[in-house]
Amino acid sequence: MAEILVLDDVLDAVVLIRKILTKKGHTVHTFTEEEEAIGFAGSNHIDLAILDIKLKKMSGIQVLEQLKKVSPEMKVIMLTGYPTIETAREAIELGAGEYCVKPIDKTELEEKVAEVLAR
Partner 1 sequence: MTTEKRPKEGDFLEVFQEVTRLISMVHDPQQVMDLVVRRLPGLLEVDAATIRLLDSGTSTFVLGAACGVSDEYLSRTTIDSSEVMSALMRGLPIAKTGIDLHCDHDGCAFISREGVKGTLSLPILFKGDVIGLLRLLTKNTREFSEAEIAFAMSLAEQVGVAISNSRLFQEMENQVNFFRELREISRLVNSTLDLDRILKTIVEKLPGITGVKGCTIRLLHPATNRLELAAASGLSEEYLYRGSISREDSIFKVLKGEPVSIYDAQNDPRVDYHEAIKKEGIRSILAIPISNESEIIGVLRLLSTEPHFFTAMEINFAVTVAEEGGNAIQKARTYRKITLLFNQIEEHERFLQTILDSLWMQLLVVDPDKRVIMVNKHFLETNSCTEAETLGRLYKFVSPWQTQDTSVSPIATVLTERKPLTVLARLDAETGPQWFERHLAPILDNDGTVSFVVEAVRDITDQKLLEQEKMERMKLQGVIEMAGTAAHELNSPLFAALGTAQLLRDDLPTEEMVEEMDMIIRNMKTMSDLTRKMTAVTGFESREYVGETKIVTLKTEE
* Contact residues for partner 1, defined by CB under 8 A: 8, 10, 12-13, 15-17, 19-20, 23, 52, 54, 81-85, 88-89, 92, 97-99, 101-107, 109, 119
Task: Judge whether 27 and 2 are in contact, CB under 8 Å.
Answer: yes
The strands making up 98-101's β-sheet, listed across from edge to edge, are: 27-31, 3-7, 48-52, 75-80, 98-101
Please report how close the Cβ of residue 43 comes to partner 1 at its closest, in angstroms: 28
Please report how close the Cβ of residue 79 comes to partner 1 at its closest, in angstroms: 8
Distance CA 103, CA 65 (A): 24
Please report how close the Cβ of residue 70 comes to partner 1 at its closest, in angstroms: 21
**Of 67 and 87, which CB lies nearer to partner 1 in the complex structure?**
87
**Of 1 and 101, which CB lies nearer to partner 1 in the complex structure?**
101
**Of 35 and 105, which CB lies nearer to partner 1 in the complex structure?**
105
Cα–Cα distances (Å) from 94 to 32, 53, 87, 119, in that order, read 22, 13, 10, 17
**Of 46 and 50, which CB lies nearer to partner 1 in the complex structure?**
50
Please give the backbone phi and psi of residue 87, each rounded to the nearest 5 degrees, phi first: -65, -40
Please give the backbone phi and psi of residue 4, each rounded to the nearest 5 degrees, phi first: -120, 135
Please report how close the Cβ of residue 46 comes to partner 1 at its closest, in angstroms: 20
